[in-house]
Amino acid sequence: MNNSLNFDKQHIWHPYASMQNPLDVELVKSAHGVYLELEDGKKLIDGMSSWWSAIHGYNVPELNQAITNQLTSMSHVMFGGLTHSPAINLAKTLVDITDKTLEHVFFSDSGSVSVEVAMKMALQYHHSLKNIKKTKFLSLKKGYHGDTFGAMSVCDPVTGMHSIFQDVLHQNLFAPSPTCKYGEECKNEDIAEFREILKTNHHNIAAVILEPIVQGAGGMNIYSPDFLKKVKKLCDEFDILLIFDEIATGFGRTGKLFAYEHAGVIPDILCVGKAITGGYMSLAATLTNKKVVQGVEADGNILMHGPTFMGNPLACSVANASLQLLLNSPWQERVDSIQKNLHVELKKCEKLEIVKEVRTLGAIGVVELNRNVDLAWMSKEFVKEGVWVRPFLNLVYIMPPFIISEDELKKLTSALYNVIVKFEQLPK
């Protein structure tokens, strides 16, 4: 092990990893296109888009130039009392590409914080309107919304990785994860428990928060758009705000620019992040409608939130370039092609005894196994195959950059199949 990796192992915490018994990590030297180049020269096809954010791949000339240009004027300026063109232009684009009712934009520096802001908006909306009992949120099991305290409180208590904090988290409500699959009708029994929770607790619920169509790190569940339609109808019936967390699904990942478009259902509050900058910098936004703003600011109140790096010019500039690159590209055709290839290639995994289910939508491919993976073993096997895939729990999944070629995607899906076959043959 070289000195850098040795120092890393002894001193640097990695996400969801032990500091005392750390897993080995790969030392990345550079990244170009869909490839991560390791220090030893080995190149890996990135199947994760750096946790779903690098939709254009790496070292993108247009994005590099956007940051370089912005550096010549200013890298940062406080957003309190000041503004700048990169933030204004980004807000204009976000307002333009989302539903016309989502006309107000709050910038923050990470997806988790955008969820915190959305939750604060919902709570303050009801408090300002004297609905002081509405202090809880209804979320879905298998949901994941981030690792900060408010966000943790609406993650699945079991699969959300935060069970150790249950005694100190705000106690919220959870409905079953949708069982109606994408393309299927959502029957009354599929929404019955959700409806009952709202009916019983609506006097105490400020908002419903969920990931539309695709639940991410809590279980990679892909469900029926019809479920969202029924949720929206219930929220309207019981005077409850609806928050969509599209941090993972936004900007084309599911085949629509935003996942809510699959259902034609518009939330009161929308959270976006990850791919907003093409994976270059940390940035997120919370969008909302006029009703929420007027409620939040009733009686002269204001939303008391203001991150230091709110509306960072560098991040906004690269986000502007990333969104223009996306919108001016044939992204829909690319994502549709990825989906068709994933459906065909990953279907081969279904014949393996260890595989419980294969799910695909847009540029998302999921192979659910009958037992949890051995992360240390499987990560090394994927590197041997020349790809970078980071499974979790019993899920082996990929979310490749939109620019991936058919040959590169074939190598990625073949690697999934090969490694899962080897894993099946290991002693349990």
Per-residue pLDDT of the chain (428 residues; tens, 9 = 90+): 588 999 999 999 998 888 999 999 999 999 999 999 999 999 999 999 999 999 999 999 999 999 999 999 999 999 999 999 999 999 999 999 999 999 999 999 999 999 999 999 999 999 989 999 999 999 999 999 999 999 999 998 876 566 678 778 889 999 999 999 999 999 999 999 999 999 999 999 999 999 999 999 888 999 999 999 999 999 999 999 999 999 999 999 999 999 999 999 999 999 999 999 999 999 999 999 999 999 999 988 999 999 999 999 999 999 999 999 999 999 999 999 999 999 999 999 999 999 999 999 999 999 999 999 999 999 999 999 999 999 999 999 999 999 999 999 999 999 999 999 999 999 87
> Catalytic: which of 35, 144, 182, 417?
144
Reply yes or no on whether 233 is catalytic: no
Which of these, 265, 197, 207, 209, lies nearest to 240 by C-alpha position? 207
Residue 19: CA atoms inside 13 Å, Cβ hemisphere, count? 3
The class (CATH top level) of 3-59+330-425 is alpha beta
pLDDT at residue number 428: 77
Catalytic residue among 16, 24, 233, 340: 16
Establish whether 280 is a catalytic residue.
no
CB 157 within 8 A of CB 192: no
Q: What per-residue confidence (pLDDT) applies to 165?
A: 80
SS3 of 260-314: HHHCCCCCCEEEECHHHHCCCCCCEEEEECHHHHHHHCHHHCCCCCCCCCCCCHH
From 46, 190, 245, 268, the catalytic residue = 245
Give the start-to-end residue ranges of the domains of the chain. Answer: 3-59+330-425, 65-327
d(CA 261, CA 212): 9
The number of beta carbons lying within 10 Å of the beta carbon of residue 65 is: 13
Residues 6+ apart with CB under 8 A from 3: none
Q: Is 35 a catalytic residue?
A: no
**What pLDDT, on the 0 to 100 scale, is given for residue 330?**
98
Whether 417 is catalytic = no
Q: Does domain 65-327 have CATH number 3.40.640.10?
A: yes
- What confidence tens digit (pLDDT) does each residue in 162-193 have? 667 877 888 999 999 999 999 999 999 999 99
Q: What is the DSSP letter of 201?
A: H
Which residue type is seen at 322?
S
The single-letter DSSP state of residue 181 is B
Q: Identify any residues that bridge with 104 across adjacent strands, giving them in sequence order.
A: 288
Q: Is 412 helix (H, G, I), strand (E, B) or coil?
A: helix
Q: Write out pLDDT tens, residues 312-328.
A: 999 999 999 999 999 99
Asked whether the domain spanning 65-327 has the same topology as the one spanning 3-59+330-425, the reply is no
Asked if 121 contacts 269 with a C-beta cutoff of 8 angstroms, the reply is: yes
Cα 26 to Cα 45: distance, rounded to the nearest angstrom: 14
Query: How far is residue 98's CA from residue 254's CA, in Å, rounded to a whole number?
Result: 15
| This model's pTM is above 0.85 | yes
Catalytic residue from among 46, 109, 274, 417: 274
B/e letters for 263-287, b = 16+ CB within 10 Å, e = fewer, are bebbbbbbbbbbbbbbbbbbbbbbb
Q: Which two tokens stand for residue 22?
A: 């750390």
